[in-house]
Chains A and B, each alone.
Chain A
Amino acid sequence: MDGMVFDVQNFSLNDGPGIRTTIFFKGCPLRCSWCSNPESQNAQEELLYYKNLCLSCYSCVEACPQGANKIKKDKTLFLDRSACRVCGICAKICPSGARVISGKRRSAEEIAAASTKDSLFYRNSGGGVTLSGGEPLMQAEFVREIAAKLKKKGLHCILDTSGYAPWKKLHEVLPYIDLLYWDIKCIDPSKHKRLTGVSNNLIISNLKKTLRLGKKVVFRLPLIPGTNDSDSDIEQMGIFLRRLGIGHVGLLPYHNLGAGKYKALDKVYFLSSKKNYKREEIARISKRLETEYGLSVSIV
Chain B
Amino acid sequence: MPENFELSSRMKKIKEEILDSPVYVDTERIRTLLESYRETEGLPPAERRAAYLEKYLAEKTLSIDDNPLVGDFGKYKVSAMPWIEISCRWMSKNLEGYRLHNTMGEYVIDDDAMRDIQEAVRVWGDKCAYSRAREIFEDATGIDWAALGKTGMYIDGCGLPLPSVICPEPAQMAVKGLRTQLEKIAAREKSLPPIGTIETTKQRILLKAMRRSLQAVINWAHRYAALARKMAKTEKNPARKKELIQMAQVLDWVPENPARNFHEGIQSTLLLYMASVIEMSCPAGLAIGNITRPLNPLYLQDRKKGKITDKQAIELIQGFFAKIMGATIYASNVWSTAGQGFNACRISMGGYTAKGDDGTTELDYLLLEAQRQMKVIEPGLACFYTDKMPEEFLFKCMELIRDSGLGQPQFHNTDKTIERWLYNCPGVSLADARERSVVGSCVVSVLGNLTNPPWEGAFNVAKMLEIALNNGIDPYTGKKVGLETGDPATFTSYQELHDAVRKQLVYLLGQCRFFDSTGFALQAEILPQTFTSAVIDNCIETATDLSEGGQRFGEMGTIIVGNIDLANSLAAIKKLVFDDKVLSVNQLKKALQADFQGKEYSRIQSLCLQAPKYGNDDPYVDDIAREWFDIFYEEATKLPDCMGKPSVPEAYSHSLHWHTGARTKALPSGRKSGLALCDGSVSAQAGTDNSGPTALARSAARVLDTVKYSSNHLNMKFHPSVFKDEEGMRKVIALIKSYFDLGGYHVQFNCISNETLVAAQRNPEKYKNLTVRVAGFSAYFVRLDKGIQDEIIRRTMLNFQN
Chain A residues in the interface with B (C-beta under 8 A): 7, 9-15, 18-19, 22, 24, 36-37, 50, 52-53, 57, 59, 92-93, 95-97, 100, 117-118, 120-121, 123-125, 127, 132, 160, 220, 252, 255-261, 263-264, 276, 300
Contacts and interface: CB of A to CB of B under 8 A. Distances in A.
Given A19-B735, A97-B768, A260 B783 contact: yes
B198 interface: no
A95 B602 contact: yes
B270 to A, nearest CB: 39
A52 B788 CA distance: 13
A19 B731 contact: yes
B759 interface: no
A291 to B, nearest CB: 23
Contacts of A255: 774, 777
> Which of A10, A36, A93, A132 has the most chain B CB atoms closer than 10 A to its own CB?
A10
Given A9-B778, A257-B784, A120 B742 contact: yes
B734 interface: yes
Contact of B783 (A12, A14, A264): A264
10 contacts: A7-B778, A13-B731, A53-B783, A95-B606, A124-B738, A124-B741, A252-B775, A258-B779, A260-B784, A264-B783
Contact of B777 (A37, A95, A118): A37
Interface string B691-710: 11111001000000000000
A124 B734 contact: yes
Contacts of A120: 738, 741-742
> Which of A120, A220, A256 has the most chain B CB atoms closer than 10 A to its own CB?
A120
Contacts of B741: 120, 124
A12 B773 CA distance: 7
A12 B722 CA distance: 11
> Which of B602, B605, B776, B788 has the most chain A CB atoms closer than 10 A to its own CB?
B776
Contact of A121 (B617, B694, B798, B801): B694
Interface in B675-694: 691-694
B764 interface: yes
B286 interface: no
B773 A97 contact: no
Interface residues of B, number: 45
A257 B788 contact: yes
Contacts of A124: 734, 737-738, 741
Interface string B772-802: 1111111100111111100100000011010
B603 interface: yes
A14 B773 contact: yes
B572 to A, nearest CB: 16
B669 to A, nearest CB: 15
Given A121-B694, A125-B730, A15 B783 contact: no
Given A118-B698, A260-B788, 18 more contacts: A9-B778, A14-B774, A19-B731, A22-B776, A36-B776, A37-B776, A53-B783, A95-B765, A120-B742, A121-B738, A125-B734, A257-B772, A257-B774, A257-B784, A258-B777, A259-B784, A260-B784, A264-B783
A22 B694 CA distance: 13
Contacts of B693: 10-11
A130 B731 CA distance: 16
B610 interface: yes
Contacts of B783: 50, 53, 97, 100, 260-261, 264
A9 B692 contact: yes
B775 A14 contact: yes
Contacts of A37: 776-778
A125 B731 contact: yes
Interface string B623-645: 00000000000000000000000
B469 to A, nearest CB: 23
A261 B779 contact: yes
B784 A11 contact: no
A11 B788 contact: no
B728 interface: yes
A259 B788 contact: yes
Contacts of A117: 617, 694-695, 698
A133 B788 CA distance: 23
A11 B779 CA distance: 14
A277 to B, nearest CB: 11
Contact of B694 (A14, A95, A118, A256): A118
B778 A10 contact: no
B696 to A, nearest CB: 9
Given A160-B776, A260-B785, A13 B722 contact: yes
A102 to B, nearest CB: 10
Given A19-B694, A93-B606, A257 B777 contact: yes
A124 B774 CA distance: 22
Given A120-B738, A252-B775, A257-B774, A96 B764 contact: yes
A119 to B, nearest CB: 9
Contacts of B605: 95
Closest CB pairs A-B (n = 4): A125-B734, A10-B692, A14-B775, A260-B785
B610 to A, nearest CB: 7
A160 B778 CA distance: 14
B108 to A, nearest CB: 45
A10 B694 contact: yes
A97 B606 contact: no
Contacts of A11: 692-694, 735, 801
Contacts of B731: 13, 18-19, 125, 127
B737 to A, nearest CB: 5
Nearest to B787: A259
Contacts of B787: 259
Contact of A300 (B602, B764, B775, B782): B775
Interface in B722-764: 722, 728, 730-731, 734-735, 737-738, 741-742, 764
B776 A13 contact: no
B100 to A, nearest CB: 38
B666 to A, nearest CB: 15
A14 to B, nearest CB: 4
Contacts of A220: 775
Contacts of B603: 59, 93
Nearest to B596: A95
A135 to B, nearest CB: 12
A118 B694 CA distance: 7
A120 B738 CA distance: 6
Given A256-B788, A257-B784, A13 B728 contact: yes
Nearest to A256: B788
Nearest to B617: A117
A252 B776 contact: yes
Contacts of A52: 785-786
Contacts of B602: 57, 95
A11 B778 CA distance: 12
A249 to B, nearest CB: 14
A95 B523 CA distance: 52
Nearest to B606: A95
Contacts of B606: 93, 95
B586 to A, nearest CB: 22
